[in-house]
């Protein structure tokens, strides 16, 4: 699937596959094939759209996004099983002794939209969630839990206060820098180019092929993964590197060498953190 996402530079882009590229070519052919000097017009229009910096034809990224969605489905299935067990009182909670506030995990907290998941194995699920004990403050409480299906237990790994941006649908920052809005300038320019060359209806047909990036998998801190390894015995970092090597071999065989314009690899650039925040009532009026 083609998808829209904020890149490592904080700029909105579309990562497209061959199907999106074919759709663009079909729209260009339909627009100019019956006109004089059509070959020249088709070539120049194709270059203006397909070589635009907003559009990155990258089958590898699209395949990775599809794999992420499938992985999210597996994680959600495990999570639903956990909620059912919690409602029945079958889950032991460990690591909550000595913590402050209402730390214990509940089914309602597992339904929060800020939850992020990561399956370390068929048995172990890492859960990241945010609590909001300070009302509308930028400070929120971030928790990491490790769930074992076999042991019917959850382990609290981390419970600390972190800063989040107050408003805006997408915010990003590099390292400890300030939170900023993602840049839409390339996206807006791309829309103008397509509408000027092919019309507004063509732009709508292109947009219908573009989905949203899956952001349900959590990117855990190294200290969290270290605690996971201590409890579960799973070296997630090493396992993930092995999985990525296998996926890259599959992608290379299916799509050929990667033609990505950005950094190589299929992981997010280090030091970048992106969050989704629902705008508050004051700013959404």
Indicate whether 277 pLDDT > 60. no
pLDDT tens track for 19-36: 999 999 999 999 999 988
Please tell me the predicted confidence (pLDDT) of residue 220: 79
pLDDT at 151: 96
Distance in angstroms (rounded) separating the CA atoms of residues 128 and 38: 54
Per-residue pLDDT tens for 193-246?
Answer: 999 999 999 999 999 999 988 878 887 788 999 999 999 999 999 999 999 999
Of 64, 146, 165, 150, the C-alpha closest to 105 is 146
**pLDDT, average across residues 53-81:** 93
**What whole-number distance in Å separates Cα of residue 114 and Cα of residue 164?**
12
pLDDT at 119: 95
pLDDT at 281 over 60: no
Q: Quote the pLDDT of residue 63.
A: 92
pLDDT at 282 (0 to 100): 33
Is 40's pLDDT higher than 80?
A: yes
Triad 209, 212, 215: Cα angle to 5°: 155
- Identify which of 38, 1, 37 has the alpha carbon closest to the alpha carbon of residue 19: 1
Q: What is the pTM of this model?
A: 0.77
pLDDT of residue 94: 93
C-alpha 61/C-alpha 50 separation (Å) is 17
Residue 41 C-alpha from the chain's centroid: 37
Q: Is the pLDDT of residue 137 over 70?
A: no
% residues pLDDT > 90 (the chain)? 56
Please provide residue 132's backbone torsions phi and psi, each rounded to the nearest 5 degrees: -125, 70
Sort 146 into a burial class: Cβ within 10 Å, 0-12 / 13-18 / 19+. buried
| Percent of the chain at pLDDT exceeding 70 | 81
Residue among 274, 279, 266 at smallest CA distance from 65 = 266
**Residue 277 to residue 173: CA distance in whole angstroms:** 14
Does the pLDDT of residue 252 top 70, yes or no?
A: yes
What pLDDT shows up at residue 178? 75
Question: What residues pair up with 155 in beta bridges, in sequence order?
Answer: 94, 146
Query: Which pairing describes strands 55-57 and 92-94: parallel, antiparallel, or unpaired?
Result: unpaired
Of 117, 128, 129, 130, the closest CA to residue 74 belongs to 117
Lowest-confidence segment of 25-29, 183-187, 245-249, 274-278 by average pLDDT: 274-278
């Amino acid at each position: 699937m083609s998808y829209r996402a904020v890149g490592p530079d904080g700029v909105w882009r579309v990562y497209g596959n061959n199907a999106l590229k074919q759709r663009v070519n079909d729209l260009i052919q339909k627009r100019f094939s019956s006109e004089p000097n059509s070959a020249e017009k088709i070539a120049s229009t194709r270059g203006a759209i397909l070589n635009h910096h907003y559009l990155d034809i990258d089958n590898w990224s699209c395949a990775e996004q599809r794999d992420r969605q499938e992985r999210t489905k597996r994680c959600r299935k495990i999570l639903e099983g956990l909620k059912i067990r919690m409602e029945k009182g079958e889950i032991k909670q460990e690591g909550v002794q000595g913590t402050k506030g209402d730390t214990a995990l509940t089914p309602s907290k597992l339904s929060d939209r800020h939850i992020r998941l990561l399956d370390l194995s068929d048995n172990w699920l890492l859960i990241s969630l945010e609590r909001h004990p300070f009302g509308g403050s930028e400070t929120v409480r971030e928790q990491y839990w490790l769930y074992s299906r076999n042991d019917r237990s959850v382990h609290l790994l981390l419970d600390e206060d972190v800063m989040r941006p107050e408003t805006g649908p997408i915010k990003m920052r590099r390292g400890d820098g300030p939170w900023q809005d993602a840049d839409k300038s390339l996206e807006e320019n791309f829309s103008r180019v397509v509408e000027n060359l092919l019309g507004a209806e063509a732009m709508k047909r292109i947009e219908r092929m573009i989905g949203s990036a899956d952001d349900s998998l959590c990117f855990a801190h190294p200290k969290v993964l270290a605690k996971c390894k201590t409890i579960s015995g799973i070296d997630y970092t090493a396992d993930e590197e092995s999985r990525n090597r296998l996926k890259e071999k599959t992608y290379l065989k299916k799509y050929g060498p990667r033609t990505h314009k950005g950094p190589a690899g299929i992981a997010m650039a280090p030091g970048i953190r992106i969050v989704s925040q629902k705008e508050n009532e004051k700013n959404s009026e």
